[in-house]
Amino acid sequence: MSFGYVAPHGGTPIPGANPKGYMLGPDDGTHTWFEQALITFKAKAADTGGVLSFFRCDVPQGWQAPVHRHAGESELFFITEGRWEIFVNDTVHEARAGSTVWIPANTKHSIYVTSRTGQGHCVITPGGFEKFFEDTGEPATVPSMPTHQTRQPTVDELLEVGRQMGWILEEPEPRRLGR
């Protein structure tokens, strides 16, 4: 089945994945360290005919994304662990285990993790944005959060790769509760 979509930014397929359908085990997928977090990809544009990307984030306290928006992608987050402050629709929400957050394309949003660690799952549609993490992070050598300082992309690099992906910076800091 073809969806007539070619991921605009490429991305590497996950071993064992197939756009005609696949199943990955709990430890399968590809892993990227990004800003001291572990991103575990379970589906990428190359694996889904461009329909979506899906990944798990294991993040440390203070992990954040500034206020930004995606020109072409929508995001759905499901938080499974920790406390996250997620700004969307002009409101900062406290998301905790079991919370779901929908962020339509072109909607300003930000993230800040307040608990010691956090875990969440994210669907991005259409697929392809995983290339941002692949280009600015580094391949994880083990499937766990890093215990060492990982590659730290410069602000200019993040902005340039983001620009190529349709990622638009709105404010340099995340919106926070009570601030």
pLDDT tens readout for residues 65-113: 999 999 999 999 999 999 999 999 899 999 999 999 999 999 999 999 9
The whole-number average pLDDT for the span 8-36 is 88
Distance CA 140, CA 81 (A): 21
Q: Can you tell me whether residue 65 is helix, strand or coil? A: strand
d(CA 148, CA 138): 12
Least confident interval from 9-18, 49-58, 80-89, 115-124? 9-18
pLDDT, one tens digit per residue, over 26-74 is 989 999 999 999 999 999 999 999 999 999 999 999 999 999 999 999 9
CA gap 5, 24 in Å, rounded = 23
Q: Mind giving me the DSSP string for 107-128?
A: --EEEEE-SSEEEEEEEEESS-
CA distance 137 to 133: 5
3-state secondary structure of 161: helix
